[in-house]
Structure 1
């Protein structure tokens, strides 16, 4: 556990008692603070009380008397589409609002570091798509070379649940916009911005607010090294804001859409090859086409980001290349579930928006596409533009018929995963890929994208074993 520093002897309110809220409350106790906890869910309050935590309704009058800070869990809105009533009360009382990420950066460094030969470092990864794979890949590469490391944040463990770092350790954090937008302290050593596409627009009041939430990771603490995807206008703008000029190699630009060969430090992938250029000269090249765990251009972008981060940490290109080939990928992200009779079954349940699903469609040939669910804002036009390899779409979800009507590809309304998998298997021929890439949230039928992906995998295994 990371012990919270700087709040000893103070009352700290904690709103939301899920994974991050509960770990924050316990870390506050460990640091000598007194957490005052609340969750509208009674079961969550009971669970907190079993840990010896005090729960008190933070909506009541006077709840923020003598409170030093309010810690808010990521899923609770603090501004848009409307502030949570508890957050409003805290702000009205002049109480600072923070989250577990802010507590982590406030508390990460300790006096024990004075005895270390190599100062621990934090690599923080954000972006719309690919941040989980990029974070896991960086962590995998570090493990491959025997470097002490931990993976946390929006993936793996909660940031305050990790072990205090040892000499030379690297902590890799995946951070969502919900986490970066509120943290009062954001001081990574290396910050990574993968890409930006529309998502969570109601929470951030549009694309401008969404980008601003991501940008805070770079603007609040000023990382020593910034790795920025420049395939969108926002990424190019961010890189320009952070850089002092074309030769400033503190900003590493990455791309999968263009060759980057300026005088700075750049990493790009084209036609399956990753290239590193520095000071106008090629420093390394890696053939990504045979890396089974990183299929498609979107994963090549993840490879560029992870490669750049590891180069910034001082790792050699050949070492990184070797680690790429032992990376198995993440569950629910271009994950091969099975191969039978020449047909490959791929679970990309994490493709919850149009952009991520479009990238999945571009990664494979001869696709039998299982899609649908709780549709997000913006329509499906981006999918139709890249659906040339889709042989047929099998649409699931409560509004499957409406979803199907927006697609140019041949469609079959299946509604359930069981029906979609059965139909796709019946139609599939050798050389086809049965791909789950929903382009929608899961909450109309599942409580998470993980449950949706697990159902797909279970249905595939069951049907193939019949």
Structure 2
């Protein structure tokens, strides 16, 4: 874990003992700090019984405390902890702020911070992958993966890659990212902010914390994002994907305009870290995506198998359908769709029906999707996932894409979208012989 002498002898209250909160308590205790911890759930408090004081900071006199560390899930606009702490002059912070305070004691390193409304997770995982394939010591954390304080410090020359939500940035004051990436900013989480402008400004604070020697990478895709780059002292690299000249076909897990922004952002950020164009391209080419989110399962006999099980509504599925346009006038997508419906109709998916070679309907929503799709595309009523994949494999030709992007919840046949995605992987492996060796070869960029 990451510890720091800077915390020794200091006092912190930690509110919320889920993953990041528990990691925070462990790191502070190991650093020699006094810790008061609290969670409403008995089971969350149990691991710390007898190891630190268990008390609700809302019921305490916080005089002399150095900080109240809260989970990003605590709504600062409505929760009483912030005004309570302010009565005692105590800052309300998060685990990312503690990481920032611990940085001077870590081996020399760099930090890449990535925020925005859409694409944060993919861009974070992609930057991490590019660095890793280039042989750079790296880890990722923040809003993805393990809590950053639970991870082992990187050796000298390492790069920490952090996905940062607006909630996490709201709790951070000292994080000077060597490279800060700001993607698009569109309305979201407005229940936590007084206005869209306030939400956008929260994102922009990541850039505002940087020093003059740092670099910012900013997308031109939204006006709200561009506004956050006004009057900055550091170098700012703007990027725009509207007239991007390069072919994305060599990046199989980064198809579609939404992933183009992620790819260009990652490429620009890694350029600021002085990776070579060859190192960056190798990382883009071998990236397999996040689990269940446009995840490249394998390429077999020229056919891509894509697991987009996390697409649980038509709005989430539409970008996946848009990502694979026809080639030579021939639609390529064999779309596996259905499950437990969240809404009726095709929604924005209807705009991309010209990309679909055939649809294979499954689950409770299967009959309804078949009715909606049959006037437009060839439909096979498969009912079960295994049958759908089997039929799609029998029909798909080299250059086609077998896409699980159900546009529905999973609960009719699976525990959750992760179980559904895992089942898809297993069926694909059984039908194609996609062993671990094939997966390793694919990640290495070899032809399989």
Q: TM-score, normalised by structure 2?
A: 0.77
**Segment of structure 1 superposing worse, 134-143 or 363-372:** 363-372
> Within 5 A, what are the aligned runs for 1:130-279?
130-204=119-193, 207-222=196-211, 224-239=214-229, 241-242=230-231, 250-258=235-243, 269-270=244-245, 272=247
Cα distance change, pair 308–441 in 1 and its aligned pair in 2 (3 A): farther
Residue of structure 2 aligned with 1:324, choices 281, 284, 288: 284
**Segment of structure 1 superposing worse, 386-395 or 216-225:** 386-395
**Segment of structure 1 superposing worse, 144-153 or 85-94:** 85-94
8 Å CA contact 1:392–1:410 kept in 2: the answer is yes
Matching residue of 1:100: 95
What displacement does 1:242 show? 4.8
Cα distance change, pair 66–215 in 1 and its aligned pair in 2 (3 A): same
Check if 1:359 corresponds to 2:292. no
Can you list the C-alpha shifts for 1:316-361, whole angstroms capped at 9, x where unaligned? 2123223333333332232233567986542123446876543222
Residue of structure 2 aligned with 1:337, choices 297, 307, 320: 297
Separation in structure 1 between the aligned mates of residue 228 and residue 307 of structure 2, nearest angstrom? 33
What displacement does 1:454 show? 2.6
Can you list the C-alpha shifts for 1:420-445, whole angstroms capped at 9, x where unaligned? 66457557732464433356787999
8 Å CA contact 1:293–1:328 kept in 2: the answer is yes
Matching residue of 1:261: none
Can you list the C-alpha shifts for 1:42-65, whole angstroms capped at 9, x where unaligned? 111112338x23322344x33645
**Segment of structure 1 superposing worse, 440-449 or 97-106:** 440-449
Matching residue of 2:436: none
Matching residue of 2:30: 30
What displacement does 1:380 show? 7.9
> Within 5 A, what are the aligned runs for 1:28-107?
28-49=28-49, 52-59=51-58, 61-62=59-60, 64=62, 66-79=64-77, 82-83=78-79, 85-87=80-82, 89-91=84-86, 93-107=88-102
Matching residue of 1:389: 355
What displacement does 1:190 show? 0.4
What displacement does 1:270 show? 3.5
Separation in structure 1 between the aligned mates of residue 334 and residue 47 of structure 2, nearest angstrom? 45
Cα distance change, pair 156–384 in 1 and its aligned pair in 2 (3 A): same
Structure 2, unaligned runs of 5 or more: 325-331, 434-448
8 Å CA contact 2:363–2:413 kept in 1: the answer is no
What displacement does 1:34 show? 1.1
Separation in structure 2 between the aligned mates of residue 444 and residue 227 of structure 1, nearest angstrom? 43
Q: State the Cα RMSD in Å.
A: 4.1
8 Å CA contact 1:142–1:149 kept in 2: the answer is yes
Separation in structure 2 between the aligned mates of residue 30 and residue 91 of structure 1, nearest angstrom? 27
Cα distance change, pair 169–343 in 1 and its aligned pair in 2 (3 A): closer
Separation in structure 2 between the aligned mates of residue 35 and residue 446 of structure 1, nearest angstrom? 41
Aligned pair count? 419
What displacement does 1:99 show? 0.5
Cα distance change, pair 122–423 in 1 and its aligned pair in 2 (3 A): same
8 Å CA contact 2:339–2:413 kept in 1: the answer is no
> Within 5 A, what are the aligned runs for 1:419-438?
419=384, 422=387, 426=391, 429-431=395-397, 433-437=401-405
Check if 1:315 corresponds to 2:275. yes
More helix by share: 2
What displacement does 1:122 show? 0.6
Cα distance change, pair 313–453 in 1 and its aligned pair in 2 (3 A): same
Cα distance change, pair 128–351 in 1 and its aligned pair in 2 (3 A): farther
Cα distance change, pair 389–326 in 1 and its aligned pair in 2 (3 A): closer
Separation in structure 1 between the aligned mates of residue 133 and residue 260 of structure 2, nearest angstrom? 19
Cα distance change, pair 212–339 in 1 and its aligned pair in 2 (3 A): same
Separation in structure 2 between the aligned mates of residue 443 and residue 94 of structure 1, nearest angstrom? 48
What displacement does 1:191 show? 0.4
What displacement does 1:37 show? 0.8
Q: TM-score, normalised by structure 1?
A: 0.74
Separation in structure 2 between the aligned mates of residue 87 and residue 451 of structure 1, nearest angstrom? 39
